[in-house]
Amino acid sequence: MPANLPAEAKAAYQKYLEAKTLEEKIRALEEFISLTPKHKGTEKLLMHAKKTLMKLKLELSKKQEIAKKRRGAPYFSIPKEGDVQFTLLGLPGVGKTSLFNMLTENTKEVGKTTILPSIGIFKYEGVWIQVIDLPPILSENIDETPNGRALLSIVRNSDIVGLVIDLSQDVKWQIKVLFKVLKDARIVIDRPKPPIRFLKLSRGGIQIYGAQYTVFSIEELKEFLTSMGIQNCILEIHGPVDEEDILNALDRRTVFKKAIVIATKGDLPGSYGAYAELKTIVKGLRVIPVSAIKRIGRTEIGRGIIEELNLIRIWTKKDGKIAERAIVLTRGATVKDAAERIHSDFVRKFKFAIVERKYSKIRKMRVGLSFPLEDGDVLTIYTD
């Protein structure tokens, strides 16, 4: 180890050497990496530390998965109703219940903590959004929250998660707790899915493509994979990635979720400063200020969900009447996708369709099945 390392970094490394548990080793090694200066003299040291950290995290992930199976923890399976499933995650007293009531027009009692989720429908401009208000997360250790792991399984299965942050409390601490429990559960919300394809094989050895996009050489990646007991696989890297991206690709439990941050109690004095601080902490995530009392933010949340999930709304028209509920599709969808959503016969017997587009130079267009749709289109399908 270089002698010119800061005393804090040396102390962190000593903590790593003396650590008894995987969790303690990971925390100490993360601290060591953050405290070590980045320059030519520490390049190899940091690379070795990062490879060790990746290995420890994967080992912990496997250990947690085995423990979960043995424990037989309760699993809350909430069937998806509506077009989108949206979960609310937050600490105690942050205003989740008031927010839930505002979105779903519900009258759930405020201030009464439960250990079970509440479910309602948020109707936003033709889209039905199923809102799941989860019980509060009590600490960074998810096992201190009743049914904590089961609650996170709901987040894993939902389409998008809303991190509910109280602007009248310490916003930095709230974000730290929520990010920690999500990260420990291998739920990634702060970075996109990496351009990596990882496939285990029964034979053929270790095949690696695209190592130039990482800080590691092919030999170092092979050494790391071998140390994890992986003897046969394909690892394809198609763009710049870091150590965390590689870890996420190798851990099959990792899921990537869209998320928005909902800043509650925006009507209280001093909330603007907390809101500004929150935006600097969660760079890359959409932050929506709300006030349930003044019913501010409902529209912004609905729009945020639609935009983050890259969805479009298509209204059908029959006998001159436009439907009240939209067909919700992923951006880039075609007339055929909409027709299949209505009924398979609409594709089989399809003759032509009329698309009405409000802001187009041509307001009415006669189109075929391959025609790409846009948000707000009104669609009439004619069949044989």
Q: What's the confidence (pLDDT) of residue 73?
A: 47
* Residue closest to 381 by CA, chosen among 360, 366, 370, 364: 366
pLDDT, mean over the chain: 90
Bigger pLDDT: 270 or 165?
Answer: 165
Domains of the chain, by residue range, sit at 7-71, 84-189+257-308, 196-242, 311-383
Q: What's the confidence (pLDDT) of residue 253?
A: 87
The class that CATH gives domain 7-71 is mainly alpha
Is the pLDDT at 68 greater than 80? The verdict is no
Cα(59)–Cα(228) distance, integer angstroms: 8
Q: Which two tokens stand for residue 129?
A: 């959004």
Q: What's the confidence (pLDDT) of residue 371?
A: 97
**CATH code for the part of the protein at 311-383:** 3.10.20.30
pTM of the model: 0.79
pLDDT in tens, 287-336: 999 999 899 999 999 999 999 999 999 999 888 899 999 999 999 999 99
Cα(142)–Cα(135) distance, integer angstroms: 12
Cα(184)–Cα(202) distance, integer angstroms: 30
- 264 band by pLDDT with thresholds 50, 70 and 90: very high
Give the architecture-level CATH label for domain 84-189+257-308.
3-Layer(aba) Sandwich (3.40)
pLDDT in tens, 177-228: 999 999 999 999 999 999 999 999 999 999 999 999 998 899 989 988 888 7
Is the pLDDT at 40 greater than 90? The verdict is no
Cα(4)–Cα(36) distance, integer angstroms: 10
Q: What's the confidence (pLDDT) of residue 317?
A: 87
